[in-house]
């Protein structure tokens, strides 16, 4: 009896062990650029009482409302200088708790659940969701809580409350909620009215909040990206972009500029495992259909909209891999051989890849891009001065300067310039707004607008990624040079 109870506790032990294991990645300082946008919005709320980015101007600069409030709370409790590590641990714990609930839905053996939690938790998207600082940790927890408490345990409170929280985390989760509704309707042959109520309340709540607080229906971030990135590509250009981002969609490796055939093998194996599992009549089939159909649907929708940001695909990537883990873990014959093959030829290589990626990217963003913000913070004491740049994460956060970003995520005025004259919106914004600082990928003193820039700005400092590829640790230095992460910048200051 005591041994059985120990086995029952194994999934909980697996949660703790997995979280502790993934916390090692905090040493890489790999934090997503967009996390600092959300955190600055949270600090703006703390300082000005306004959800915004630049002082008391309201703007939905972050893609997530709920995570802004969570970040605000962590800033309030731990302070601006000490909240990052606690919130990253919190995100990792929430995500792993979500994987615990998922394991309860799809597996009955506690040992199988424990193995699933750990292997699922160390896949590259799982690591990124946990420690990169974005809202997907809390989102995954809420979505799995909905499936577990609402549709496995039949808790009506979960069916009403959780859709509201999910939609407040990201408005595009309407895709997930819609797929859940359709699959549940097909399996149960009846409408779950509590869930319908939850969905209606969720939509009314988030859309009303957007309208009455920001005077918009959808988040500004969505509008800004559509405005800036809307391009009429040829068929050939669309195909090139598709190949460049292919690893985002069905795999876990993104190799820019190349077609990764390994991804096709993984995709086919995922599909075969899914077909194998659903052939058996089982109560979990409904949930397998939910996660598999949702993952494919979200990817197809976002691909069709040319959404090439890799974080949009983290949750679909890991959910598509769930049938593979179930198939291997539940093997009755040569189980350990299957498990060994999976770990040796997939899990460990993926973990190694993510480790190298996190070390290199952490260097390029934390050591390099953050350093630009720190330089500006020390150089410019007047935090009411403006800087025009892209992207709006590290540099604005650590400089404290008011910010105009090229895309318009944190400043709506530049969107009007993009709509008016997209080819010249950058220089038009500079002439109209006259920001004190410009941070550019290119040399502004060369090109058609060089005369204007030379007459009004001077080069303050050059930032070069090659200057940050050295380390006293020779192994780290090899990783930095193997996968250099970062872009050269020129920093200009206004003279007239």
H-assigned helices in 230-284: 235-244, 246-250, 261-278
DSSP class of 383: T
| Contact in structure between 292 and 319 (CB atoms under 8 Å) | yes
Torsion of CA 428, 433, 438, 443, to 10 degrees: 20
79-93 exposure pattern, b = at least 16 Cβ within 10 A, e = fewer: eeeebbeebbbebbb
Q: Identify the residue with better confidence: 97 or 422.
A: 97
- Angle among Cα 340, 345, 346 to the nearest 5 degrees reads 100
Measure the CA–CA gap between 249 and 245, rounded to whole angstroms.
7
Measure the CA–CA gap between 347 and 131, rounded to whole angstroms.
18
How many CA atoms lie less than 13 Å away from 398 in the CB half-sphere? 19
Which residue, among 113, 201, 93, has the nearest Cα to 156 in the 3D structure? 201
Listed by start position, the domains of the chain span 360-494
Cβ-based neighbour number of residue 194 at 10 Å = 17
Q: pLDDT tens across 93-110, in order?
A: 999 999 999 999 999 999
- Name residue, tokens 């101007």: 57
Does the pTM of the predicted model rise above 0.85? Answer: yes
Whether pLDDT at 87 is above 80: yes
Q: pLDDT tens across 440-490, in order?
A: 999 999 988 999 999 999 999 999 999 999 888 999 999 998 888 889 999
Q: pLDDT tens across 358-383, in order?
A: 999 999 999 999 999 999 999 999 99
């Amino acid at each position: 009896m005591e041994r059985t109870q120990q086995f029952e506790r194994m999934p909980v032990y697996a949660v703790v062990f997995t979280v502790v294991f993934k916390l090692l990645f905090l040493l890489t300082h790999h934090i997503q650029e967009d996390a600092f946008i959300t955190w600055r919005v949270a600090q703006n709320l703390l300082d000005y009482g306004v959800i915004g980015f630049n002082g008391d101007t309201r703007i939905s600069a972050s893609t997530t409302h709920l995570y802004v409030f969570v970040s605000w709370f962590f800033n309030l409790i731990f302070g601006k200088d000490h909240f990052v590590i606690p919130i990253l641990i919190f995100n990792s714990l929430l995500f792993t708790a979500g994987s615990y609930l998922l394991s309860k839905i799809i597996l009955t053996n506690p040992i199988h659940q424990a193995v699933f939690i750990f292997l699922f938790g160390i896949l590259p998207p799982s690591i990124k969701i946990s420690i990169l600082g974005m809202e997907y940790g809390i989102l995954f927890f809420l979505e799995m809580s909905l499936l577990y408490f609402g549709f496995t345990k039949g808790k009506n409170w979960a069916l009403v409350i959780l859709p509201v929280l999910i939609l407040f985390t990201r408005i595009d989760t309407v895709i997930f909620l819609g797929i859940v509704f359709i699959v549940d309707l097909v399996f149960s042959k009846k409408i779950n009215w509590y869930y319908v109520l939850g969905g209606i309340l969720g939509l009314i709540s988030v859309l009303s909040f957007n309208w009455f607080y920001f005077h918009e229906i959808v988040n500004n971030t969505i509008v800004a990206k559509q405005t800036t990135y809307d391009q009429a590509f040829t068929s050939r250009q669309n195909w090139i972009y598709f190949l460049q981002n292919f690893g985002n969609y069905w795999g876990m490796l993104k190799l820019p500029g190349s077609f990764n055939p390994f991804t096709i093998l993984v995709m086919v194996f995922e599909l075969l495992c899914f077909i194998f599992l659903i052939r058996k009549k089982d109560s979990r089939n409904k949930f397998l259909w939910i996660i598999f159909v949702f993952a494919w649907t979200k990817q197809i929708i976002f691909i069709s909209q040319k959404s090439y940001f890799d974080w949009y695909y983290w949750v679909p990537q890991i959910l598509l891999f769930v049938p593979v883990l179930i198939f291997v873990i539940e093997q009755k014959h040569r189980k350990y051989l299957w498990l060994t093959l999976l770990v040796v030829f997939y899990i460990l290589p993926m973990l190694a890849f993510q480790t190298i990626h996190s070390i290199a990217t952490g260097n390029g963003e934390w050591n390099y891009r953050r350093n630009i913000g720190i330089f500006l913070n020390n150089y410019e004491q007047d935090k009411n001065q403006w800087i025009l740049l892209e992207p709006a994460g590290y540099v604005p956060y650590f400089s404290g300067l008011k910010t105009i970003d090229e895309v318009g995520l944190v400043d709506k005025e530049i969107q009007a310039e993009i709509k008016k004259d997209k080819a010249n919106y950058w220089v038009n914004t500079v002439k109209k707004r006259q920001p004190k600082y410009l941070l550019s990928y290119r040399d502004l003193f060369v090109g058609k607008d060089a005369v204007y820039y030379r007459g009004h700005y001077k080069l303050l400092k050059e930032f070069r990624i090659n200057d940050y590829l050295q380390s006293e640790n020779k192994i780290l230095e090899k990783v930095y040079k193997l996968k250099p992460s970062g872009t050269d910048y020129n920093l200009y200051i206004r003279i007239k």
